[in-house]
Amino acid sequence: MTATVVPLVVLLPLLGAAVALILGRRRRAQMAVGVAVLAAVTVIAAVLLVQVDATGPAVVYIGAWDAPWGITLVVDRLAAIMLVISAIMLLVVLVYSVGQGIADQHRETPVSIFHPTYLILAAGVFNAFIAGDLFNLYVGFEILLGASYVLLTLGGTGERIRSGVTYIITSLVSSLFFLSAIALIYGATGTANIAQLSVRLAELPQDVQLILHLLLLIAFGIKAAVFPLSFWLPDSYPTAPAPVTAVFAGLLTKVGVYAIIRTETVLFPENDLSTLLIVIGGLTMLIGILGALTQADIKRLLSFTLVSHIGYMIFGIGLSSVIGLTATIYYVVHHITVQTALFLTTGLIERFGGATSINRLAGLLKASPLLAILFFIPAMNLGGIPPFSGFLGKVGLFVAGAQGAGAAPGADAAGTPSWLIWVVIAAGAATSLITLYALTRFWNMAFWRRRDELEGYESVLLGSVLEAPEGATVTATRTTPVLMVVATATLVVVTVCLTVFAGPLFEYAGRAAEGLSDPSIYVSIVFPGGTR
Amino acid sequence: MTASLTLVLLMAVLFGAGIAVMLERSLTRVLIGFLLVGNAVNILMYLMSGAPGLAPILGEGVDEGEISDPLPQAFVLTAIVINLGITAFMLALIYRSWWLAQLGAKGDLVDDEAELAEDAEEAADLIRSSAADDEAIQSIIDASDEEFDLDEELEREASARDDEGSRQ
């Protein structure tokens, strides 16, 4: 029975965190625990993925309390693919941070709490993915947020605290929104079980639904960094240690996107906000990428592209069609890996070149061709250059949009005017090109430019003393640890695999989206004998 | 659904006050605001359980309709615990930022040697400045010696002795 292993994806990281905390003084043992736990979760998630795809969703009623009363854990195809990709990503980043920690003599990750906190973050993320209960989803969010507060302010330097405060206050407000929404939803329906809510929310008057719907969207929108609620992100992510930024950028916003997918498909399928989502998706793309254009620092530049590319997913969700969701799921998977790979590469660039600013980097191609390859592949991928998954995902979204626009002249099934969809598709294409421009500019300056063209430079490595936020750490070692390169290379290979195996993955995403197309499917998973 | 008006009013006041305080710049006030709003949300959640009833323990002779809804209470308890954790973290963060604001990044790095050196420097400064004072006083006394006649000088010496005596 595969369903019995479902709770392990949350329990293992939590127990691992406890063990790692006990082993606080013994770093190698801590690392071993962290890597072993995440490897185990990756295996479990992969098994779940295969099983769920073959035999249908796995449901666990904790403590054998039946669905509306107890805590329900649901792994359907969407949750399974999210579990697998996030487990792989968390594992790779942990290996990367172990490599960095060994090389730096633990200056970047100086405290014994890094590994336990990281595992708790993983537990929160996994819990959010498999939660079948709105309140459990909230708890998952709080676990991952609490851990992320600690990771973001790791070491407690002035800069990290300053940027961390922005992030923490924003997240606190979003949590309050979420909790209020849960309270009001419970008041209106008398349940917090997502499957039961799907039935009961539909019976509420449309205006009440709208308020509850918007409350949830605001809460998740802040977490996913959707346009009007996205301004906290580029200020708070770049100062954290490289592996932490990579995890945050790759994963945390996607948890928000995942929650929005659930909200739109299961909780409020009838209450239609797709036009709003499409408009917001378009604005998120454009405004995010325009911010990226002005950044000299690669970390900030990538943070802005992160915001911008969330827009694609919101657009795909807003289309509210099976093909739109298919493309969205594929895009989420693609974006998690690519964005993380880019941030990991940035960490390598920072070590190798001694800076992250366009003004201080040059001649990296000659100095390290391997690094150049590791940056080039995900950069082109993010920019949407044809063979790569970024291109495939965007084409998938545009095709979905075109179908939505073409479904009925003037207005598609969801009631969005077709011209609006065309406009957003155009915005998406423009965003893709601007992303490419911003990244190739960095490529030209940092990799192709000769070192002697760097004005007023003394040594590329010397620049790091002035430029890097943590001055001493970067110059501590000139060598780039093998483990970091291996971890980054692994993730880049994964991104390439997403391209090579795009066919099966798209088919899988299609089946996952099929499962989301009708909320009654989700309800019948949790209540095999019918609800009420 | 029935609800206590007092609790509704309390919730409204907590929400209003909390949001107002949260808009302040100071981190401590933001924390206080967060606590107020957090408790307002908890009360909101508690209100959603409807009219109060018996303790939610199903035993013999207890009618299911009589008991109050236990689920919101469980939610509130969880939320309180989460708020506690966040508050503890925020307090640590506030203390840390206060520490950094007072001492700067150097605050962490004050070691014994540097402190000893600083102490020695302060002591040297003190000696130097008191020596300068002494010299200045001496020069004033010397200058006064030349200008005045003997009687006045004697008087001055006497008063200076008195001064010294009183100083000692």
pLDDT per residue as tens digits for the range A166-178: 899 999 999 999 9
Same domain, B84 and B142: no
Give the least confident one: A165-174, A201-210, A350-359: A350-359
Same domain, B82 and B124: no
Q: Which candidate from A135, A146, A168 shows the least CB-CB separation from B75?
A: A135
User: Total domain count for chain B?
Assistant: 2
What CA–CA distance (Å, rounded) separates A139 from A179?
Answer: 10
The answer to whether residue A157 neighbours chain B at the CB level (below 8 Å) is yes
Whether residue A482 has pLDDT greater than 50:
yes
B15 touches chain A (CB under 8 A): no
Burial label for A475, CB within 10 Å (0-12, 13-18, 19+), is: middle
Give the per-residue SS3 of A270-314.
CCCCHHHHHHHHHHHHHHHHHHHHCCCEHHHHHHHHHHHHHHHHH
Q: For residues A491 and A337, is the Cβ–Cβ distance under 8 A?
A: yes
Can you give the pLDDT at residue A176? 92
Question: Residue A432 pLDDT > 70, yes or no?
Answer: yes
Q: What was the pLDDT predicted at B149?
A: 61
Question: What's this model's pTM, rounded to 2 decimal places?
Answer: 0.84
Give per-residue pLDDT as tens, A303-350: 889 999 999 999 988 888 888 889 999 999 999 999 999 999 888 888
- Apex A490 CA angle, A378 and A107, nearest 5: 95
Are B44 and B79 in a shared domain?
A: yes
Cβ contact, residue pair B44, A183, below 8 Å: yes
- The residue type of A512 is A
Nearest to A285 by CA among A316, A241, A264, A261: A316
- Does the pLDDT value for residue A423 go beyond 60? yes
Backbone angles phi, psi at B113, to 5 degrees: -60, -45
Q: CA–CA separation, A340 vs A324, rounded Å?
A: 24
Q: Which domain holds residue B141?
A: 112-167
Distance (Å, whole) CA A336 – CA A333: 5
Q: How far apart are CA A300 and CA A438, in angstroms?
A: 12
Residues in chain B: 168
Burial level of B58, CB count in 10 A (0-12/13-18/19+)? exposed
Give A172→chain B minimum CA distance, Å. 8
A69 to chain B nearest CA, in Å?
A: 9
In tens, the pLDDT along A67-77 reads 777 788 888 88
Cα A416 from Cα A288, distance rounded (Å): 23
Q: Whose structure tokens read 């909390």?
A: B18
Q: Would you state the pLDDT for residue A477?
A: 45
pLDDT digits (tens, 9 = 90+) for A487-513: 888 888 888 888 888 888 888 888 888
**Does residue A364 carry a pLDDT above 60?**
yes
| Measured distance CA(B138)–CA(A381) in Å, rounded | 83
Chain B residue numbers touching A156 (CB-CB < 8 A): 96, 100
pLDDT, one tens digit per residue, over A276-295 is 888 899 999 999 888 888 87
CB-CB contact of A485 with A95 (8 Å): no
Mean pLDDT estimate for chain A? 82
CA B151 from centroid of its chain's CA atoms: 62
| pLDDT-wise least confident of A261-265, A363-367, B3-7, B17-21 | A363-367
Amino acid B86: pLDDT: 92
Are B15 and B95 in the same domain? yes
Confidence grade of residue A65 (pLDDT, cut at 50, 70, 90): confident
User: What residue of B is the nearest CA neighbor of A140?
Assistant: B82
Report the chain B residue with the minimal C-alpha distance to residue A180: B41
CB A13 within 8 Å of CB A19: no
Query: How close is the nearest chain B Cα to the Cα of A187, in Å?
Result: 5
The full set of domain ranges for chain A reads 1-269, 272-500
Q: Is A156 on the interface with B (CB under 8 A)?
A: yes
pLDDT greater at residue A466 or residue A343? A343
Coil, helix or strand at residue A74: strand
- Mean pLDDT computed over A297-304: 86
Query: Nearest CA to A150 among B99, B93, B79, B98?
Result: B93
Q: Is A187 on the interface with B (CB under 8 A)?
A: yes
Tell whether B84 and B19 lie within a shared domain: yes
For an interface test with B, the pick among A171, A176, A211, A215 (most B C-beta atoms closer than 10 Å) comes out as A176
Whether B148 and B88 map to the same domain: the answer is no
**A355 and A429 Cβ atoms separated by less than 8 Å:** no
Mean pLDDT confidence for A127-132? 91
Structure tokens at B21: 């305080």
Lookup result for tokens 């906000």: A273
Lowest mean pLDDT among A30-34, A56-60, B143-147: B143-147
Alpha-carbon distance B111 to nearest alpha carbon in chain A (angstroms): 18
The answer on B18 and B86 residing in a single domain is yes
Does the interface ipTM go beyond 0.85? no
Distance (Å) of CA A143 to CA A13, A14, A274 = 12, 10, 30
State residue A347's pLDDT score. Answer: 85
pLDDT digits (tens, 9 = 90+) for A207-244: 888 999 999 999 999 988 888 888 888 888 877 888 88
User: Cα(A337)–Cα(A493) distance, rounded to whole angstroms?
Assistant: 10
Tell if the CB–CB gap between B72 and A186 is shorter than 8 Å.
yes
| pLDDT of A392 strictly over 80 | yes
B17 in contact with A, Cβ within 8 Å = no
Task: Tell me the shortest Cα–Cα distance from A456 to chain B, in angstroms.
Answer: 29
Note down pLDDT in tens along chain B; length 168 residues. Answer: 677 888 899 999 999 999 999 998 888 899 999 999 999 999 999 888 877 778 878 777 777 777 888 888 889 999 999 999 999 999 998 888 888 887 765 655 656 666 777 778 888 888 887 888 888 888 888 887 765 566 666 666 677 777 666 655
Give residue A520's identity as a one-letter amino acid code. S
Are residues B118 and B80 part of one domain? no
pLDDT band at A468 (very low <50, low <70, confident <90, very high): very low
Q: Clarify whether residues B76 and B125 are in a common domain.
A: no
- Which pLDDT value is given to residue B131? 82
Q: Are residues B136 and B81 in the same domain?
A: no
